[in-house]
Amino acid sequence: MSQTVEGAKDFMPINGTDYLEFYVSNAKQAAHYYKSAFGFKSLAYKGLETGSKELESYVVVQDKIRLVLTSPLKSGTEVGKHIDKHGDGVKVTALWVDDATYAYNEAIKRGATHYMKPVLEKDEFGTVVRSGIYSYGEVVHIFVERKNYNGVFLPGFTSWETPNYTPEDVGLKYVDHMVGNVALGQMNHWVKFYEEVMGFTQIMSFDDKDISTEFTALMSKVMSSGNGRIKFPINEPAPGLKKSQVDEYLEFYEGEGVQHIAVATDNIVKTVTELRNRGVEFLRVPDSYYDVLTDRVGKIDEDIEALRPLGILVDRDDEGYLLQIFTKTVQARPTMFFEIIQRKGATSFGKGNFKALFEALEREQELRGTL
């Protein structure tokens, strides 16, 4: 993926997603869940044993995806307050850059809200510079400069090995995109933020006619970094007869935040089969979806009868097609979930599946009494 997205200023080139940090109420158990259910492996740890007196973090890895799961070790911490308000959720989207001081200075100069000034961290494996700015809600972007570092994760972390438990991976490769839910009327504000502060450009837009069912609607715009490696769709609710999934999120998360993280695989049938065998739950569309699938998307490499029992969805655009599926929400509150995606040329986000998907989501909302 090294295309240049037209219109992006790209004054702050981003090499990729460095890590995602979740604030969770029980990092130790969450780490085990991501290992046992999603096929991640143990990578690094920080806690009492490493001199971290307030916070404990477990880092798990699968190919290019690193998740940091952080919990407080005492009451009254910022992390604890975050969890009390939002439940478990994504706090940090860390972006890998060549110069974290430059990225911070450029972002602040262009109007970003400060989160963390550039800090040089070091240990026996070298140095890392990190800095940070606020995005929507309480989500932050941390810029990570690691060209002078060859340790396992970051200074302050020790290698975490669990030789007695290393589940097989499920074929997850990298973060394809990460979607934010923002409040009514705020989508364009955040589009402007990513344009002006980060040099991103808008590559796609969906209005409430694209994304609506009989009852609910939302709007979405997709922001991309210049090299296309970072894509942040931003959703806002649109008026509908009933409460939309974005409204439900905003109510239960008590604010704006990360709605879903899409992770790429190059064999979605194998990946989803593995995830299901390990207990991951997915949204289902009605079986009739598959009866008309070939009419809608034309011929595809995969056997539709292999997709049907797994509930994998297909969509086509001018450049090719994609296969995707969405998990149910993965924490106590009905907030964040994952998407598994396999791209076969398509660079879009599955617009042709929106209606069937949102009807599936409404059935979940109905069960929760939140529609």
Closer residue to Fe ion, CB minimum distance, 122 or 355: 355
Give min distance, CB of 109 to Fe ion, in A.
Answer: 31
Question: For tokens 């949102």, what's the residue?
Answer: 358
Closer residue to Fe ion, CB minimum distance, 12 or 285: 285
Closest by CA position to 104, among listed 121, 123, 119: 119
Give the whole-angstrom CA distance, residue 219 versus residue 224. 17
Q: Does 361 bind Fe ion (CB under 5 A)?
A: no
Give min distance, CB of 352 to Fe ion, in A.
Answer: 13
Closer residue to Fe ion, CB minimum distance, 262 or 325: 262
Question: Which residues lie across from 231 on neighbouring strands?
Answer: 224
Give min distance, CB of 16 to Fe ion, in A.
Answer: 18
DSSP assignment letter at 77: -
Closer residue to Fe ion, CB minimum distance, 274 or 339: 339
Give the whole-angstrom CA distance, residue 243 versus residue 126. 50
Give min distance, CB of 65 to Fe ion, in A.
Answer: 15
Closer residue to Fe ion, CB minimum distance, 61 or 262: 262
Closer residue to Fe ion, CB minimum distance, 71 or 259: 259
Query: What's the number of CA atoms in the CB half-sphere (13 Å) around residue 194?
Result: 27
Please give the order of strands across the beta sheet that includes 158-159.
Answer: 114-123, 126-134, 140-145, 89-96, 16-23, 65-72, 55-62, 41-46, 158-159
Number of residues that bind Fe ion (CB under 5 A): 2
Binding mask 44-83 for Fe ion (x = CB under 5 A): ----------------------------------------
Q: Does 339 bind Fe ion (CB under 5 A)?
A: yes
Among 43, 191, 262, 285, binds Fe ion (CB under 5 A): 262
CB atoms inside a 10 Å sphere around CB 369 = 6
Q: Does 176 bind Fe ion (CB under 5 A)?
A: no
Give min distance, CB of 209 to Fe ion, in A.
Answer: 19
Closer residue to Fe ion, CB minimum distance, 129 or 211: 211
- 68-93 CB burial, b ≥16 within 10 A, e <16: bbbbbeeeebebbebbeebbbbbbbb
Give min distance, CB of 225 to Fe ion, in A.
Answer: 16
Amino acid at 83: I
Residues that bind Fe ion (CB under 5 A): 262, 339
